[in-house]
Structure 1
Amino acid sequence: MQAYICQTCGVQYSPSNLPPEQCFICEDERQYVPADGQKWTTLTKMEQGKFHNNWEIEEEHLFSIRTVPQFAIGQTAYLLQDEEINILWDCLTYLDEQTKQTIVESGGIDAIVLSHPHYYSTQVEWAETFDAVIYIHEDDRKWVTRMSEAIEFWSGEVLELSNTVSIHRLGGHFQGGAVLNWTKGSQGKGVLLTGDIIQVVADPGWVSFMYSYPNLIPLPATKVARIAEKAGKLSFDRLYNAFHGIIDNGAYDSVQRSAHRYINALEDGLNS
């Protein structure tokens, strides 16, 4: 049996003799099934191709990892080396021997923390390889495509992983949508890793919020206001999103200012 991977979203399913009949992640209105239908692959097939993972040092103790050429959604994962715990924030589908070696040489992974279901990828493969715990908010339990004893469903609004690292449920894009706050990052001014629960946009210094990005379905103003309120309680000056978008400084104000603009637009407050 093989653990099949959806080529559109990059999420891996439990081992089976045949590919799944459908990808319920893609059939949800926040994602999509391509016009030419659902296609499947496996890690074995991917290893026979031209994929590799690129590493970049973002700042001291924080690395970004991206698969090249782009596969599926094309998100960026981050390896955070805290004094107490090494954390992989979000996950990539592709995992090869070079990536394993690089991570082992970097001290391994203790925990894999997910922002939301679109980035579950091959999280079980990663967890089993590095003997890591997977943290997923219980509100998103129904979206898990491959169960494992490594998965720990956390509840409530905050989970402290160390003295300087905490996970916060903001909701929005998904009910259990989470961000990671690293207060020691950015030279002690704080870092927020957001996946696309909070999305960096083209205009520098601004972010946005969506229910569905590929289908351009906005979030209600009330949900964005709630996200801004929760983010307003966190300490951060720099923000990294799921697609290597970065607000290098002033990110706290950017989130609040952007939420105000978003809500104003939905309430017909634009000058157009």
Structure 2
Amino acid sequence: MNPICVTCGMQYAAPRPDCPICEDERQYVPPSGQRWTDLATIQQQFEPLVKPEGENITGIGTTSKLGIGQRALLVETAGGNFLWDLTAYLDDALVDDINARGGITGIAISHPHYYTTCVEWARAFDVPVHLHEGDRQWIGRPDDRIELWSGPTKQVGDELTLVNLGVHFTGGTVLHWSGGEQGRGALLSGDIVQVIPDREFVAFMYSYPNLIPERPAVVRRAAEILAGYRFEAIYGAWWDAVVRKDGYDVVQRSAKRYLEFVS
């Protein structure tokens, strides 16, 4: 079985003593040291959780924290379903559940912390995984189903656009769904644009666990890019981490506040 880092959930192609993701300054190796698991063990230790997160958006994760604790989002559009971000957990019953909902046409991941078992997912559904080439070096398990894209945007569906903001990682990406929220738009942000407890604002960080703020020039550029998109809701990385209204304004005033504090 391919080894999976217990701390971050990254799956690697072969056994190794280290996890580059955790040794990077944006993540961490816990005081107890590097530990490994695998998908079969995860299937025994965790229970899947599938529940609605919004209109035509379904969360897919586990009932208890696995790795970093993020959940995936199944986006159901008229042109086909698409999977945003990933959880390490996957089994046959979950594959059957997603296929019963119409399957998926592809997968995209916001940044390397959530690459996890992407090859397992891609093979299970026979679809590509879209990763930004700016984060090529962090791919733990190379596979021909991984499709690297470049530039500022990539269209992955009639209403779905990947947008590279460069926050958190060089390839840090969000997914804009123009048809979401009954046509008012939705932004699926992972923690590139982090939904925080105060739903009136969002956050921008280079490292969340180590509390390293994002570079001002990166935040300024991200706000300028997102000024070209309209969205009512923002779906973050965690269960129920959703800004339900005024998402565009929330991002813009959050960036303004951030730049005022760090200047």
Compute the TM-score of the two structures, normalised by the length of structure 1: 0.94
The aligned residue for residue 133 of structure 2 is 138
Aligned letter for 1:3? N
Q: Given the alignment, which residue of 201, 226, 234 partners 2:196?
A: 201
Once the two structures are TM-superposed, the CA of residue 202 in structure 1 deviates from its matched residue by: 1.6
Q: Given the alignment, which residue of 174, 177, 180 partners 2:172?
A: 177
Aligned letter for 1:31? Q
The aligned residue for residue 256 of structure 1 is 252
Once the two structures are TM-superposed, the CA of residue 59 in structure 1 deviates from its matched residue by: 3.0
Structure 2 unaligned spans of 5+ = none
Q: Given the alignment, which residue of 122, 130, 133 partners 2:117?
A: 122
> Using the alignment, how far apart are the partners of 2:155 and 2:254 within structure 1?
27
Structure 1 unaligned spans of 5+ = 268-272
Q: Given the alignment, which residue of 69, 72, 90 partners 1:77?
A: 72
The aligned residue for residue 7 of structure 1 is 6
- Number of aligned residues: 262
CA contact (8 A) 1:52 1:96 kept: no
> Using the alignment, how far apart are the partners of 1:107 and 1:203 within structure 2?
35
Aligned sequence identity (%): 45
Once the two structures are TM-superposed, the CA of residue 163 in structure 1 deviates from its matched residue by: 2.1
The aligned residue for residue 45 of structure 1 is 41
Aligned letter for 1:238? A
Once the two structures are TM-superposed, the CA of residue 47 in structure 1 deviates from its matched residue by: 1.9
Show the 5 A alignment for 1:18-37. Answer: 19-37=15-33
Q: Given the alignment, which residue of 77, 93, 97 partners 2:92?
A: 97
Once the two structures are TM-superposed, the CA of residue 253 in structure 1 deviates from its matched residue by: 0.2
**Rg: which structure is higher?**
1
> Using the alignment, how far apart are the partners of 2:246 and 2:200 within structure 1?
8
Kindly provide the CA deviation profile for residues 92-118 of structure 1, in whole angstroms up to 9, marking residues without a partner as x.
101122211111111112201010000
Give the aligned CA root-mean-square deviation in angstroms: 1.0
Greater Cα shift, 131-140 or 154-163: 154-163
> Using the alignment, how far apart are the partners of 2:178 and 2:161 within structure 1?
9
> Using the alignment, how far apart are the partners of 2:76 and 2:126 within structure 1?
16
Aligned letter for 2:6? Q
Compute the TM-score of the two structures, normalised by the length of structure 2: 0.97
